[in-house]
Structure 1
Amino acid sequence: MPALDNAQKSKRNTKGHHGEGHRARLRERLLNGGSEALLDHELVEYLLALAIRRQDTKPLAKDLIDTFGSLSALLTADGESIRKVTGMGENSTAAIKIVQAAALRMVSEPVREQPVLTSWQALLDYLRADMAHLVHERVRVLHLNSKNRLIRDELISEGSIDQAAIYTREVIKRALELGSAAIILVHNHPSGDSTPSRQDIAVTKDICDAGRKLGIAVHDHIIIGMDGHTSFRSKGLI
């Protein structure tokens, strides 16, 4: 093959990626029309384009949406699962997860800055964003001070697709260590159905009884599912 002359080399080096025009159009639609101007896979496509500079990311974006079922499910998926999708690497996976991290910071701000009981809807929005699409059950305890402000949001247990352990003694012990005046129990149902099980009801009663003896109130137990949420207090279970 004959050597390229300087003009040919310069032309090759400055030639843009074949998708640059498409990316520019996505960028223009995003900046002028906001997030609603782009479809879900287009949001992912442009995001991936920032991490994968010289590749058409549209097919990969569509693969990710198809694999996880929705944009929300993709953003909340664990990094290991995302990396398993052909074409994904550390940088592109990190790009997906940083969006989730930023979104959670945004929706959790009212919960962190205001008394929880006066920002209840914000709390529910935060919990749903964080837990609704998880494929394994997780249990969290929100610890509150006497003014119902959040002291600590702790993950205390992670289990299988249908069960995670909640130990009354450990929950109360931790509340005493933190000086919590009240707690809110939270866990998710990966099945999508937020209806409490008999075990959920029984362990909640045990924690309420133990907390009452030590002056620790249980404001609620919230179960998060794809169908929404169930509040034990609103259902008269506390």
Structure 2
Amino acid sequence: MSRIRHFSDSQAALFAHDEVPEDAGPEAKGQPSYIRDHRARLRERFLVGGADALPDYEMLELVLFRAIPRRDVKPLARELLEVFGDFNAVLSAPASRLAEVKGVGDAVICELKIIEAAAHRLAQSRVMKKPVLSSWAALLEYCQTSMAHRDIEQFRVLFLDRKNVLIADELQARGTVDHVPVYPREVVKRALELNATAMILVHNHPSGDPTPSEADIVVTEQIQAAAEALGIVIHDHLIIGKSSEISFRSEGLL
């Protein structure tokens, strides 16, 4: 333990051992020294340098350590990245697709989904109950975190009060890989129920290309017409792609 004495006792304990489930078999009780040493080095690099010090596959290894306590997880980390593309895509992948990868069981899926849920909650905490128009970068980050890697289209509505504070973020509809049914009357009805005076519409394009379709433009016009009739403002409609987004307001479409 001499090389990590500069950490606190609680941090150093991370390097000493991995947790072993009480019902683990004899093969899980002993951990080869090369695996133990590799994990210690990786954790040390993360604690010293943060996430920027590690490539995607090593970040993924850190997540997999707890799910697979006594086996080298590097091959599985690389396989997941090969299948899904990048770290974020692995976390966002549906459980059913993750389970198709050899070596991925319930424990791995659970760990990945815990990290995904934590990321969503953290991003949401930066915008919920806050004036979103003055926190636009945080809003875009939240939308990217929540929707960029979904494999089906989702349509969300962010409801705002008179001070443009985000009071609710609700999933209105789920669709297919290239279509989601949206009913303008239901969107406006929900705004009235929440006493919202403004809305931001958000949906994703699983293809990765955020370019609006003709259907996107038409449904936005329909929602805007229904909202304006009741004095509700549509601030924007955001389309979220894999690595970028398009704003209807910025594009002159709203």
Is the structural similarity TM-score above 0.5? Answer: yes
1:16 and 2:9 correspond: no
Match of 2:158 in 1: 142
Q: Aligned partner of 2:32: which letter?
A: H
Match of 1:236 in 2: 252
Q: Aligned equivalents of 1:163 and 1:231: distance in 2?
A: 19
Match of 2:174 in 1: 158
Match of 2:187 in 1: 171
* Structural RMSD (CA): 1.7
Q: Aligned equivalents of 1:29 and 1:49: distance in 2?
A: 15
Normalised TM-score (structure 2): 0.85
Q: Aligned partner of 1:16: which letter?
A: Q
Match of 1:4 in 2: none
Q: Is the 8 A contact 1:144 1:182 kept in 2?
A: yes
Q: Secondary structure at the match of 1:111?
A: coil
Q: Aligned equivalents of 2:46 and 2:215: distance in 1?
A: 47
Equivalent residue for 2:128, pick from 112, 115, 118:
112
Q: Aligned equivalents of 1:36 and 1:168: distance in 2?
A: 43
Q: Aligned equivalents of 1:14 and 1:97: distance in 2?
A: 26
- Aligned residue pairs total 227
Pair 215,14 (structure 1): closer, same or farther in 2 beyond 3 Å: closer
Which consecutive aligned stretches of 4+ in structure 1 deviate over 3 angstroms post-superposition?
12-16
Q: Is the 8 A contact 1:194 1:227 kept in 2?
A: no
Match of 2:82 in 1: 66
Q: Aligned equivalents of 2:191 and 2:108: distance in 1?
A: 39
Q: Is the 8 A contact 1:144 1:180 kept in 2?
A: yes
Q: Secondary structure at the match of 1:153?
A: strand
Q: Secondary structure at the match of 2:128?
A: helix
Q: Is the 8 A contact 1:51 1:92 kept in 2?
A: yes
Match of 2:198 in 1: 182
Shift of 1:173: 1.1
Summarize deviations over 1:129-168 as a string: whole Å, max 9, x none: 2211111111001111111111111111111110001111
Equivalent residue for 1:126, pick from 142, 147, 151:
142
Equivalent residue for 2:207, pick from 191, 208, 216:
191
What 5-or-longer segments of structure 2 have no aligned partner?
1-26
Q: Aligned equivalents of 1:230 and 1:45: distance in 2?
A: 33
Match of 2:104 in 1: 88
Q: Aligned partner of 1:174: which letter?
A: R
Match of 2:19 in 1: none
Aligned counterparts, 1:187-226, within 5 A: 187-226=203-242
Q: Secondary structure at the match of 2:101?
A: coil
Q: Aligned equivalents of 2:192 and 2:231: distance in 1?
A: 10
1:97 and 2:97 correspond: no
Q: Aligned equivalents of 1:227 and 1:52: distance in 2?
A: 31
Match of 1:30 in 2: 46
Q: Secondary structure at the match of 2:168?
A: strand
Match of 1:6 in 2: none
Q: Is the 8 A contact 2:28 2:70 kept in 1?
A: no
Pair 13,80 (structure 1): closer, same or farther in 2 beyond 3 Å: closer
Q: Secondary structure at the match of 1:87?
A: coil
1:55 and 2:71 correspond: yes
Q: Aligned partner of 1:49: which letter?
A: F
Q: Is the 8 A contact 2:155 2:182 kept in 1?
A: yes
Q: Secondary structure at the match of 2:69?
A: coil
